[in-house]
């Protein structure tokens, strides 16, 4: 079964025929039985489903692409970013940069179990962003990165993201 299958967690536990699927693996993973003869066994998906359940959200595969709090990020993106899928104010964003002599300090809300990257562009059309730093360990509350070589005679546009 593919990890984006709509059959994942779409069954009814009362109709699960036994404790194992046809491969001998646990029949119920993530709280709800999958449709079909095989149960998706992905550890990453199990962690995701447990996260959804922690917010009281459904664990059907269709919940992956739902935007529960209408903030523009679907539940999968919220999980990847470490933000809350039930709070529209909980988003990954760059705070106002602090410009110093020859430096720009960027700060964003972060969590400890994520790695972030920072990119920079000198224009928006076409938007070609260049990687400045990767594997920036998230800190509790906020994380910062200092660009020690910002462009001196052109505007700079920054973005932050979560590494998969």
- The verdict on residue 7 lying in a domain is no
Q: Which of 81, 115, 138 is the last residue of a domain?
A: 81
- The verdict on residue 17 lying in a domain is yes
Residue 29 has what pLDDT?
79
Same domain membership, residue 129 and residue 70: no
Report the candidate in 24, 5, 28 with the shortest Cα–Cα distance to residue 15.
28
Same domain membership, residue 115 and residue 155: yes
Residue 45 has what pLDDT?
73
- The verdict on residue 130 lying in a domain is yes
Express each pLDDT in 114-145 by its tens digit: 999 999 999 888 778 999 999 999 999 999 99
User: How many structural domains does the chain have?
Assistant: 2
Per the CB < 8 A criterion, the answer to whether 59 and 32 are in contact is: yes
Q: In the chain, pLDDT over 70 holds for what percent of residues?
A: 96
CA 125: distance to chain centroid? 27
- Residues 17-34 have a mean pLDDT of 82
- The verdict on residue 89 lying in a domain is no
- The verdict on residue 147 lying in a domain is yes
Strand segments (E) across the chain = 98-100, 103-110, 115-121, 130-137, 141-147, 157-162
Q: Which of 55, 81, 107 is the last residue of a domain?
A: 81
Q: Which domain range does residue 43 map to?
A: 13-81
Cα separation of 1 and 45, whole Å?
Answer: 12
Both tokens assigned to 3: 């990890």
What burial letters (b/e) apply to 125-144, b meaning 16+ CB within 10 Å? eeeeeeebeeebebeeeebe
Cα separation of 48 and 82, whole Å?
Answer: 11
Residue 6 has what pLDDT?
78
- The verdict on residue 3 lying in a domain is no
Same domain membership, residue 105 and residue 59: no
Residue 65 has what pLDDT?
82
Same domain membership, residue 139 and residue 112: yes
More reliable by pLDDT, 61 or 135: 135
Same domain membership, residue 56 and residue 20: yes
Residue 35 has what pLDDT?
84
Give 101's contacts (C-beta < 8 A, 6+ positions apart): none
Residue 121 has what pLDDT?
94
Same domain membership, residue 73 and residue 25: yes
On the question of pLDDT at 92 being above 80, the answer is yes
Residue 9 has what pLDDT?
81
On the question of pLDDT at 57 being above 70, the answer is yes
């Amino acid at each position: 079964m593919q990890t984006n299958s709509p059959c994942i967690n779409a069954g009814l536990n009362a109709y699960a025929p036994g404790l194992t699927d046809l491969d001998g693996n646990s029949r119920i993973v993530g709280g709800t039985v999958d449709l079909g003869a095989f149960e998706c066994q992905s550890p990453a998906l199990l962690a995701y489903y447990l996260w959804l359940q922690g917010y009281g959200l459904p664990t059907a595969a269709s919940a992956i692409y739902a935007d529960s709090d209408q903030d523009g990020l679907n539940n999968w993106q919220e999980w990847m970013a470490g933000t809350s899928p039930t709070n529209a104010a909980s988003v990954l964003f760059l705070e106002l940069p602090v410009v110093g002599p020859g430096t720009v300090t960027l700060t964003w809300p972060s969590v400890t179990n994520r790695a972030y990257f920072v990119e920079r562009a000198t224009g928006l059309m076409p938007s070609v962003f260049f990687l400045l730093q990767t594997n920036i360990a998230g800190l509790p509350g906020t994380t910062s990165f200092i660009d020690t070589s910002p462009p001196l005679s052109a505007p700079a546009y920054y973005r932050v993201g979560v590494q998969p």
